[in-house]
């Protein structure tokens, strides 16, 4: 079998359990999406919609989106003074596809970055993480070692002249009252 692409989730699965990776990536025997994973996907869609439009849609996830807004900032087209100071030299990208060469003749590293903040002098790569309890949030030290986040930072470094890239999880607690916590 010839590998044409590989993702951070495949690498992380392999690092945890080679058998689970083999079953999912080679045999294509993947477990069905759990209700928690489905909710996480739906929250991602709501946060992406807010990022692109500035609108927090009425949905079952409105409370969590509203709790995230202070960390996401106003939509740049809303004439927010924060974004205006950059005179168009800053940008936002959502669900940004990535592709990176791994090694000569090797598979392409693929993925999607939830949010890229491109500032004049540095960039940020964000991933939204939904959890049932904040104890499942990664620490800053764990984030620095995350295969996924390192690959996102590498993608941004290869597509810019940045000397610094911030990696960030926006952790959203889904049980009980909505709680949002950035980890960077």
pLDDT (average), residues 32-42: 91
Q: Quick check: 47 pLDDT over 60?
A: yes
Q: Which residue has the higher pLDDT, 105 or 180?
A: 180
Question: Residue 79: its pLDDT value, please?
Answer: 54
**Which residues contact residue 91 at a Cβ distance below 8 angstroms, ignoring those fewer than 6 apart?**
76, 117, 118
The whole-angstrom separation of Cα 112 and Cα 97 is 4
- Distance separating alpha carbons of residues 15 and 17, to the nearest angstrom: 6
Q: What is the mean pLDDT of residues 173-177?
A: 92
Query: Phi and psi at residue 74, in whole multiples of 5°?
Result: -70, 155
Q: What is the pLDDT of residues 111-152, one digit of tens each?
A: 999 999 888 888 999 999 999 999 999 999 999 999 999 999
- State the residue for tokens 């030299």: 89
pLDDT over threshold 70, residue 81? no
Q: What is the pLDDT of residue 27?
A: 87
CA distance 139 to 132: 16
Torsion of CA 24, 30, 31, 32, to 10 degrees: 150
Residue 177 — very low, low, confident or very high, per pLDDT cuts 50/70/90?
very high
Q: What is the pLDDT of residue 93?
A: 85
Please state, as a whole number, how many other Cβ atoms lie within 10 Å of the Cβ of residue 33. Answer: 11
As a whole number, the mean pLDDT across the chain is 88
Return the number of other C-beta atoms located less than 10 Å from residue 39's C-beta: 17
User: Which of 83-87, 92-96, 99-103 shows the lowest per-residue confidence on average (mean pLDDT)?
Assistant: 83-87
Residue 89: pLDDT over 70: no
Task: Kindly report the three-state secondary structure assignment for every residue of the chain.
Answer: CCCCEEEHHHHHHHHHCHHHHHHHHHCCCCCCCCHHHHHHHHHHHHHHHHHHHCCCCCCCCHHHHHHHHHHHCCCHHHCCHHHHCCCCCCEEEEEEEEEEECCCCCCEEEEEEEEEEECCCCEEEEEEEEECCHHHCCCHHHHHCCHHHHHHHHHHHHCCCCCCEEEEEEEEECCCCCEEEEEC
The predicted structure's pLDDT at residue 29:
86
The whole-number average pLDDT for the span 162-168 is: 94
């Amino acid at each position: 079998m010839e590998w044409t692409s590989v993702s951070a989730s495949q690498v992380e699965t392999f690092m945890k359990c080679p058998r689970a990776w083999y079953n999912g990536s080679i045999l294509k025997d993947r477990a069905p999406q759990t209700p928690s994973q489905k909710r996480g996907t739906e929250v991602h869609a709501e946060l992406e919609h807010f990022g692109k439009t500035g609108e927090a849609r009425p949905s079952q996830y409105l409370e969590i989106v509203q709790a995230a807004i202070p960390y996401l900032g106003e939509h740049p087209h809303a004439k927010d003074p924060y974004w205006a100071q950059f005179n168009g030299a800053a940008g936002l990208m959502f669900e940004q596809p990535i592709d990176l060469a791994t090694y000569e003749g090797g598979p392409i590293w693929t993925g999607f970055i939830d949010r890229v903040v491109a500032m004049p002098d540095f960039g940020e790569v964000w991933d939204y993480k939904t959890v049932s309890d904040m104890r499942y949030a990664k620490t800053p030290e764990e984030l620095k070692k995350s295969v996924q986040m390192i690959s996102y930072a590498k993608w941004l470094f290869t597509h810019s002249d940045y000397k610094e890239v911030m990696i960030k999880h926006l952790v959203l607690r889904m049980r009980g009252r909505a709680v949002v916590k950035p980890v960077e």
